[in-house]
Amino acid sequence: MATTQIAVIVLLGLLVATHIHITEAQVGVCYGMMGNNLPSHSEVIQLYKSRNIGRLRLYDPNHGALNALRGSNIEVILGLPNVDVKHIASGMEHARWWVQKNVKDFWPDVKIKYIAVGNEISPVTGTSSLTSFQVPALVNIYKAIGEAGLGNNIKVSTSVDMTLIGNSYPPSQGSFRNDVRWFTDPIVGFLRDTRAPLLVNIYPYFSYSGNPGQISLPYALFTAPNVVVQDGSRQYRNLFDAMLDSVYAAMERTGGGSVGIVVSESGWPSAGAFGATTDNAATYLRNLIRHAKEGSPRKPGPIETYIFAMFDENNKNPELEKHFGLFSPNKQPKYNLNFGVSERVWDISAETNSTTSSLISEM
């Protein structure tokens, strides 16, 4: 009897510890809407609440979604889409109008934490025509947020991808591409001066799938048994940390050593391309959620992280872009993940289930 009781206590301790750690990490999920078969906004927000997902990223100020978020206590990254960046940069009157209609009209019922002015605008991609408008748009929205009396509540930033990084190996030598410094340096300076974090989309999947001969799958999935990269005194067992720390190093080289990072997207597709399987996606996502509370070798501590994405979106292209969802459009979970909710089918990972079985078998 004593042995059984001890086993039960140990099991409960494991479950409680798992619950606390994941809740502390508060990983968010991106709410994309590029599908013609997705649930209503109110159903989606209810799904976030029922799964204890406390953070959400919106890519545009969809008023249906914002109204559904009222009173939910979910923290929001609110996107100002690329198509509006030039307009917002052209004058303060446009920034004031945007903030009034999409921020102030919903505050404080909607807990907007960041405004992401543009997504993955870069001199080296198809968004290069917007680069000259990026900083003026940031400045105008920042000023409009201040005028609205929300400067202490909402940070203004932008979301970038890894195409801006010229060198990422080893992570301590991370640097922005020389041909984009004219673009990145003013952004980093703006974030430093306003004490806002840089939003970074980090996808080990794309690094791995583009170079499987040099990057091992375990290194990309957080499952490498040993240190893969020794960088001075820092040891790297996963690609996510190496990518993240290379951006920290790049910002430090440009005077942004005090600028934090929010991982505004990370995920793994379940189908549609090389390495895109349900097993790989489940492993990556489960380990990412756990790892978010730990931090990187360069910056220990919780990493605010947003998983891409809530649903499979059938209007996206190419094919693999349709398969990043945590849920199918019918709201059924694709994976067994833990966001700190007690519902067994979602909350308890495969590893915990196996622990339960072994303990019960020994009782």
Assess contact for 212 and 205: CB atoms under 8 A. no
Q: How many other CB atoms sit within 10 Å of the CB of residue 21?
A: 17
Residue in this structure with the two tokens 């195409």, named with its chain if needed: 163
- For the stretch 225-264, what's the b/e string if a residue is b when 16 or more beta carbons lie within 10 angstroms of its beta carbon? eeebbebeebebbbbbbbbbbbbbbbbbbbebeebbbbbb
Closest CA to 311 of 264, 269, 263: 269
- Angle separating helix axes 92-99 and 131-147, nearest 10 degrees: 60
Q: How far apart are CA 25 and CA 357, in angstroms?
A: 27
Residue 265 annotated as catalytic: yes
Containing 175, the helix (H) or strand (E) segment is: strand 175-176
Q: How far apart are CA 293 and CA 346, in angstroms?
A: 19
Residue 343 annotated as catalytic: no
Nearby residues of 230 by Cβ (< 8 Å), 6 or more positions away: 236
Q: How far apart are CA 81 and CA 49, in angstroms?
A: 25
Question: Which CB contacts under 8 angstroms, 24+ apart, belong to 63-68?
Answer: 63/102, 64/40, 65/31, 65/33, 65/41, 66/102, 66/106, 66/110, 67/41, 67/106, 68/41, 68/42, 68/44
The values of phi and psi at residue 150, to 5°, are -115, 15
- Out of 265, 304, 313, 321, the active site residue is 265
Closest CA to 312 of 341, 295, 333, 293: 333
Provide the token pair at 219: 């290194």
- Out of 24, 75, 93, 120, the active site residue is 120
Assess contact for 25 and 54: CB atoms under 8 A. no
Task: Reduce the DSSP state of residue 54 to 3 states and report it.
Answer: coil
Containing 42, the helix (H) or strand (E) segment is: helix 41-50
Give me the active site residues, please: 120, 265
